[in-house]
Amino acid sequence: MTKTSKDKLKGTVIIPLGLTAVLVPFSLLIGWNIFTLLLFWFVLIPGLSMYLPTLVSSYKNHLIETVLGLIIFYSIMVFMIYDHYQTDYFKAMIVSFVINLIVVTIWSQAKNSDLQTA
């Protein structure tokens, strides 16, 4: 396994692990209401998913790592709470998945274009 492959794998795996590490204390200590739901799923998730791979990966473009990490994280979340698929919280989580993929892609493309022009 090459160094680049290891970096990409570490960058992908840290996202679901890091997001879960933030989710557990967030839900246990703060709890869920509309404000915390929007804060976590629409602000913290995309921000952390873009930041976490930079901690362990020396690779510059983290789009693939971020998208794969988000897919893994949301897959685990859907598997864990599939019984509650009719709740508004579940629907907000699914909507945030789509929006976060779009936000992360646009954000990553903007960062890459800034790196190429600099």
| One-letter amino acid of 9 | L
Residues of the chain with pLDDT under 70: 114-118
pLDDT digits (tens, 9 = 90+) for 29-46: 998 888 998 999 999 999
| pTM of the full structure | 0.87
Task: Report the alpha-carbon distance of residue 65 to residue 92 in Å, rounded.
Answer: 23
Going from N- to C-terminal start, the domains of the chain cover: 3-117
> What pLDDT shows up at residue 115?
60
pLDDT digits (tens, 9 = 90+) for 41-60: 999 999 999 999 988 877 77
Task: Give the Cβ contact number of residue 33 at 10 Å.
Answer: 9
Alpha helix segments (H runs only) across 30-87: 34-39, 45-56, 63-80
What φ, ψ does residue 34 adopt, rounded to 5°?
A: -65, -40
> What pLDDT shows up at residue 92?
87
